[in-house]
Amino acid sequence: MPESTIHNGQMLDVAADLLALLGDTSTEPRTDPQLEALTLAVSADLPVLLWGEPGIGKTAALTQLADTLGLPLTTVIASVHEPSDFSGLPVVGDDPATQGVPMAPPDWAVRLVRAGHGLLFLDELSTAPPAVQAALLRVVLERRIGTLHLPPGVRIVAAANPRSSAADGWELSPPLANRFVHLRWAHDHEVVVRGLGGTWPVATMPRLDPARLPDAVAFARRAVCELLAARPNLVHQLPKSETLRGGAWASPRSWDMALRLIAFATAAGTSRDVLSLLVRGAVGDGPGLELLASLDRMDLPDPEDLLANPAAAVLPERGDLRQVVLDGVVAAVRNRPDEARWHAAWTLLAAALETGAPDLVVVPASTLAALRQDGWEVPVEIEQLSGAVSLSRRVDRVAAVAGVRG
């Protein structure tokens, strides 16, 4: 063998060693809302669609997720397949008139069924033509490919580029889009820098508390049902824009997905940021934000409980939620006026002044003062609150004067 051939072979071996060193990376626990949202949706067995610009790391995130979960990853580039690759290829048997013509599934589907579990990754979904998207409807919703039915251990995740940055891109059809939880995938500068340095964040499955499962289901059902009972127009909202129809929008199907996500998030103690990504990714931004606001109100204390024992009251820390609680307390006194309840409300307002922004008590205090009836003793808290009310009003007048002069 020529010496040059041997030398070149050795250089290739050295190159392989260098490539191995470059691929030798580690992982670290890290709070990442979009990664947490992905793993929770996967654990809830809901199809997920990652939206992001090319090269943003969608495929890498799925590869790392599959490794973490110990699932074989099956990648299918949707745009290079024919509709029959998902609906099945007809195979003529001995007697088609009697036996019919079975639809043979592709080899990758057979491998998934044999394994019994896995992560099916449908990549480049936005470059798949409408006929292929139509064939994917049964795969995503019914988990059927030809005559095969994917086992429960298989999870489905897809990725797509926005049409503006997709090669020969198409808008997603509304029926297909409505079958996914849509997550916007963006890069984190610090994660990229640490990853290129050899350390990437690790994906972990949410830890579901077995003791919280029944309450989590009851809470999720109550949250969704109460909102839709009060806002029936949110049940089904097909967007008018073709682009918006290819994203998350509200329908009975997507509300069912949102309910499941709330139950899983509640059982896992998921943060609000992650829950926000999930519910908005299921039903769209508008309905999703209304659902989040409804969830906040569900956790608020009952005004009657607060009036019954104002000394032990614990008020919300968030200013907007605290304002809702204080307004509710004043409304409860107005609906059932009583001197003891009136005094209890002043105690609550004084506690709110000590632990929060003074401007939050201005309107409730003014309204509560107007509810006083003849003979009711003036509480000592009024002097404490009057300073905050008068100061706030002086600030408002100064601001109004400054606005007029400006």
Is the model more confident about 375 or about 120?
Answer: 120
Amino acid in the structure at residue 164: S
4 has a pLDDT exceeding 60: no
Average pLDDT over residues 94-105: 68
Cα–Cα distance, 62 to 160 (Å, whole number): 13
Mean pLDDT of 3-12: 66
Q: What is the mean pLDDT of residues 3-25?
A: 77
| Burial 117-128, CB ≥16 within 10 A → b, else e | ebbbbbbbbbbb
Could you report the per-residue pLDDT of 393-404, keeping only the tens digit for each?
443 443 444 444
- pLDDT 10s digits, 48-66: 999 988 877 788 788 878 8
What whole-number distance in Å separates Cα of residue 182 and Cα of residue 368? Answer: 46
CB 103 within 8 A of CB 140: no
Angstrom distance (rounded) from CA 210 to CA 207: 9
Asked whether the beta carbons of 361 and 352 are under 8 A apart, the reply is yes
Which pLDDT score is estimated for 99? Answer: 63
> What letter does residue 210 receive in the DSSP assignment?
G
The predicted-structure confidence for 153-193, as pLDDT tens digits, reads as follows: 999 999 988 866 555 667 889 999 999 999 998 877 888 88
How far, in Å, CA of 196 to CA of 23, rounded? 10
Contacts of 151 (CB under 8 A, 6+ apart): 112, 113, 116, 117
Question: Pseudo-torsion of CA 122, 123, 129, 133, nearest 10°?
Answer: 20
Residue 363 pLDDT level (bands cut at 50, 70, 90)? confident
Cβ–Cβ < 8 Å for 330, 345: yes
What are 25-53's pLDDT values in tens digits? 787 777 788 889 999 999 999 999 999 88
Closest CA to 142 of 105, 192, 179: 179
User: 96 pLDDT band (50/70/90 cuts)?
Assistant: low
More confident residue, 124 or 217: 217
Residues 325-345 have pLDDT tens digits of 898 899 999 999 999 999 999
